[in-house]
């Protein structure tokens, strides 16, 4: 009898756990998969792009978990990088990683996102603890703003000193990429053609800085908003234009009411699509 009671308890617990799961991972084609499979595939990659929702705490937790597990399992140099840090802050970031300055000084001398302390500091500190490079990949926002207001022509006349913080000009740009077209549609045309051009400057600069620091045999993990890597576009598009043979794994985080089945609108967004319940609390 006691074995039957135990069995019923286990079954009840498993059913409860399924109902309260924090996430479910799907393959690009919509088939369910596991974190173990995600980890295995990522460990064999040259680059992993973790496309997040910036206010999703499950995404941030999985970013850290995947980074820790890859650090433990891969037998090759690991590099980290993020959209959330800008290229002209790299020297300050390096000083913090080396222990030459404390976190207060680092914070005062960089332009950090409002949720940096809660969501990204732990990743930088992981790199600091384990002596891993952490690359500030994104273009300084002032230059993206220039493109948003004046197109690529607005940065053509910048000084060489200013241009060192971005991908070499001219920026290759394909307005027919679906992500750039969707961006225009979502904004109802606000900002005109310059909005996706500003996005392209960010994508091209992040790709440039990733490739500048990557060496054959490394594993580069990059944290960015999903829009920058979904459909293997954005940053990934710029990278594969130069190095199509690189093994790249993309991850996307989305929310749904149910975790049972992937909504068709999310199919093929990434190699792995992590679904989080839509009622899960946001970090801001």
Q: Tell me, what's the pLDDT at 189?
A: 61
CATH class assigned to 23-277:
alpha beta
Q: Tell me, what's the pLDDT at 30?
A: 98
Pairing status of strand 248-256 against strand 134-138: unpaired
Q: Tell me, what's the pLDDT at 19?
A: 59
Q: Tell me, what's the pLDDT at 60?
A: 98
Q: What is the reported pTM? A: 0.92
Q: Tell me, what's the pLDDT at 227?
A: 97
What is the SS3 string spanning 191-207? CCCHHHHHHHHHHHHHH
Tens digits of pLDDT across the chain (284 residues): 434 433 333 333 344 345 579 999 999 999 999 999 999 999 999 999 999 999 999 999 999 999 999 999 999 999 999 999 999 999 999 999 999 999 999 999 999 999 999 999 999 999 999 999 999 999 999 999 999 999 999 999 999 999 999 999 999 999 999 999 999 888 776 668 899 999 999 999 999 999 999 999 999 999 999 999 999 999 999 999 999 999 999 999 999 999 999 999 999 999 999 999 999 999 99
Q: Tell me, what's the pLDDT at 184?
A: 87
CB 109 within 8 A of CB 232: no
- Taking only the tens place, the pLDDT of each residue in 184-194 is 888 776 668 89
């Amino acid at each position: 009898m006691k074995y039957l009671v135990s069995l019923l308890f286990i079954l009840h617990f498993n059913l409860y756990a399924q109902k309260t799961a924090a996430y479910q991972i799907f393959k690009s084609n919509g088939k369910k998969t596991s974190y173990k499979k995600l980890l295995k595939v990522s460990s064999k990659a040259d680059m992993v792009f973790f496309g997040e929702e910036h206010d999703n705490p499950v995404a941030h937790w999985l970013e850290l978990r995947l980074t820790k597990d890859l650090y433990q399992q891969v037998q090759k140099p690991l590099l980290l990088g993020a959209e959330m840090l800008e290229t002209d802050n790299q020297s300050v970031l390096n000083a913090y990683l080396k222990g030459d300055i404390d976190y207060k000084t680092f914070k005062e001398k960089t332009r950090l996102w409002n949720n940096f302390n809660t969501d990204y500091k732990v990743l930088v500190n992981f790199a600091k603890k384990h002596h891993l490079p952490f690359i500030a990949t994104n273009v300084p926002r002032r230059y993206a703003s220039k493109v948003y207001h004046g197109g690529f022509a607005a940065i053509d006349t910048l000084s060489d000193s200013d241009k060192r913080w971005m991908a070499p000009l001219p920026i290759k740009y394909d307005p027919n990429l679906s992500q750039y077209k969707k961006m225009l549609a979502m904004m109802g045309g606000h900002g005109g053609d310059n909005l996706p051009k500003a996005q392209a400057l960010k994508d091209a600069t992040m790709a440039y800085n990733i490739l500048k620091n990557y060496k054959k045999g490394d594993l580069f993990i990059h944290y960015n908003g999903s829009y920058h890597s979904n459909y293997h576009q954005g940053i990934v598009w710029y990278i594969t234009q130069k190095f199509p043979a690189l093994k790249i794994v993309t991850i996307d985080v989305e929310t749904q009411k149910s975790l049972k089945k992937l909504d068709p609108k999310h199919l093929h967004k990434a190699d792995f699509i992590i679904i989080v319940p839509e009622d899960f609390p946001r970090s801001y």
